[in-house]
Amino acid sequence: MEVGNVDTAPLGTVSLGPSAKLAFSLQNWKGRQLAHVRKFVSTAKYEGFTKSGLAMPGEVLVGVFEALVRLQAEVPGIQGQQYARVTKRGEVDIVISTVPPDDVKALPSVDVREFLDTPAYSGPTKKGIRFGWDKLPEVITLLQTLASRMGKEAKSEPVLFPEARPKWVKDAEEASQTKPSSRDAVLTALLPGGPKAFPADFLDDRKPKVTKLELPAEPIEVAQQSDGKYVVRSHFGFCHAVRNATEGNFILYANLRGQRTVPVPQEMIAIFRAVKAYENYLRELSHSLIQVYERKSGHRPMAEHQAKEIFRSFGLPWVGQS
């Protein structure tokens, strides 16, 4: 793998386990900026970067990003298959493949690897990365960050004819605005306008009297104290007493959807009805997502994983199947 003249600090990392991670960075190579993804290990025998990794110019980076976004939307089963091929230079392509797991209950892995095609050798090389399917959203996000950064820097360079900039610069700008979920046909079909709002869509038309609660910026949780009473709290000092776990969940569910100011009904019956209706809605939605993803992939663990990822991306609590 090409190594840059200047080894800059990673823009982000993706954990591959307790002793390995992928580091994403931008480095200069003979005056040319390249996106690097390199494997870093930390063991008793060695700590540092390995030879596994990729170095990509802007046009290749955008191509790999786009291919991974399409792959994520495809939701393949556990069978291994070659999915896409991105040309790097004349005799070198980057091939994106899925690799079947050792256990049928596990998820497949994604392999992004340089393939060489010369008279002397044709096939995969050691230059590449491999990661579990569950890491794909993180990898896509960091590649998107690299593409955005490279595109902005290339666009800021003075040129005599701006319209003559390489096409990948515009593609990088578009990639920075891409929402991977917009490519998902299942999500588009089941949630064309996104999920229902909470609590607004689950309070009845009587418009109950509410007390507005201001929440902190950090994550919150519902907890039961030693005296049996419930609170909504954060790990940074915020603590608000609630009447019961259901009222706590009402506040939590609203906060997960991005609300910092939550209108809490004064009547418990309004809270109970809203929470119950919302949880029933979530169960029906998770069941529908799993059902369609399983038909598409033929793999129940993959279907459940994809449904949970959708819930996480929208800030929906996973309440499980009834």
241-300 per-position pLDDT tens digit: 999 999 999 999 999 999 999 999 999 999 999 999 999 999 999 999 999 999 999 999
pLDDT on residue 227: 96
Confidence category of residue 322, pLDDT binned at 50, 70, 90 = low
Average pLDDT score over residue span 56-70? 93
Distances (CA, A) of 276 to 162, 265, 280, 281: 57, 14, 6, 9
Q: Is pLDDT at 189 greater than 70 in this prediction?
A: yes
Chain centroid offset of residue 281 CA: 24
The DSSP call for residue 180 is G
C-beta of residue 150 within 8 angstroms of C-beta of residue 124: no
C-beta of residue 210 within 8 angstroms of C-beta of residue 266: yes
pLDDT on residue 306: 94
Q: Is pLDDT at 167 greater than 80 in this prediction?
A: no
Q: At what angle do helices 167-176 and 58-74 cross, to 10 degrees?
A: 40
C-beta of residue 50 within 8 angstroms of C-beta of residue 36: no
Distances (CA, A) of 8 to 3, 21, 23, 29, 176: 11, 16, 11, 12, 21
pLDDT on residue 3: 38
**Mean pLDDT rounded to a whole number for the chain:** 90
pLDDT on residue 10: 83
Range among 2-6, 204-208, 318-322 rated most confident: 204-208
Which are the contacts of 10, defined by CB distance < 8 A and separation ≥ 6? Answer: 23, 24, 25
Q: Is pLDDT at 168 greater than 50 in this prediction?
A: yes
Average pLDDT score over residue span 114-141? 95
Confidence category of residue 169, pLDDT binned at 50, 70, 90 = confident
Task: Name the residue ranges covered by the structural domains of the chain.
Answer: 12-183, 190-314
Q: How far apart are CA 252 and CA 221, in angstroms?
A: 7
Q: What is the pTM of this model?
A: 0.83
12-183 classified as CATH 3.30.2450.30? yes
Closest CA to 171 of 317, 281, 66, 301: 66
